[in-house]
């Protein structure tokens, strides 16, 4: 089953590169469902699928897609916290990436969450310059 998910993710990457974002998201939705069914909802392999979904949603560039990307980013952050528990620099980067998801056209739609994410990242030694 995971090889089918791998195949769907690879096809979705091609779709993203070709700006066929709806097709990419459809494939990624199927890949995510397969991985959840076969590996469980908390398996680290879901991080990659969620990352691709966030990339495709961000590329569609609508406020609704930005909100969905942030929602998926929260889930990805939980998985990363578990998978990367011994890599605080990676978690700090994940926090900054998620903070960025909470903005659309440089307009924050959840300023409190952005502040909390950036504050936690700074407490871990990250610089949020350029984010």
Mean pLDDT of 74-91: 94
CATH number at residue 66: 1.25.40.10
Q: Is the pLDDT of residue 34 over 60?
A: yes
pLDDT band at 41; cut points 50, 70, 90: very high
For residue 77, the 8-state DSSP code is H
In a domain, 115, yes or no: yes
Asked whether the beta carbons of 38 and 75 are under 8 A apart, the reply is no
Block residue for tokens 């960025």: 100
Non-local (6+) Cβ contacts of 6 within 8 A are 31
**The pair of three-digit structure tokens given for residue 64, joined into one six-digit string:** 């609704």
What distance, in Å, lies between the first and last C-alpha atoms of the chain? 37
In a domain, 28, yes or no: yes
In a domain, 130, yes or no: no
In a domain, 23, yes or no: yes
- What is the average pLDDT value for the chain, to the nearest integer? 93
In a domain, 131, yes or no: no
In a domain, 128, yes or no: no
pLDDT band at 129; cut points 50, 70, 90: low
Q: In this predicted structure, what is the pLDDT of residue 90?
A: 92
Distance between CA atoms of residues 102 and 94, nearest Å: 13
pLDDT band at 65; cut points 50, 70, 90: very high
In a domain, 32, yes or no: yes
Q: Is the pLDDT of residue 131 over 80?
A: no
Q: What is the pTM of this model?
A: 0.90
Give the structural domain span for 118: 2-123
Packing angle between helix 63-83 and helix 46-60, nearest 10 degrees? 160
* Domain tally, the chain: 1
pLDDT band at 2; cut points 50, 70, 90: low
Distance between CA atoms of residues 115 and 102, nearest Å: 10
In a domain, 129, yes or no: no
């Amino acid at each position: 089953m995971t090889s089918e998910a791998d195949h769907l993710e690879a096809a979705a990457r091609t779709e993203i590169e070709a700006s066929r974002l709806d097709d990419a998201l459809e494939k990624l939705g199927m890949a995510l469902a397969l991985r959840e069914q076969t590996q469980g909802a908390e398996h680290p392999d879901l991080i990659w699928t969620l990352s691709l979904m966030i990339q495709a949603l961000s590329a569609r560039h609508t406020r609704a897609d930005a909100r969905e990307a942030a929602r998926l980013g929260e889930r990805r952050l939980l998985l990363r916290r578990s998978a990367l528990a011994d890599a605080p620099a990676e978690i700090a980067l994940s926090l900054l990436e998620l903070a960025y998801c909470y903005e659309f056209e440089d307009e924050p739609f959840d300023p409190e969450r952005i502040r909390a994410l950036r504050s936690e990242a700074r407490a871990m030694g990250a610089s949020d310059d350029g984010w």
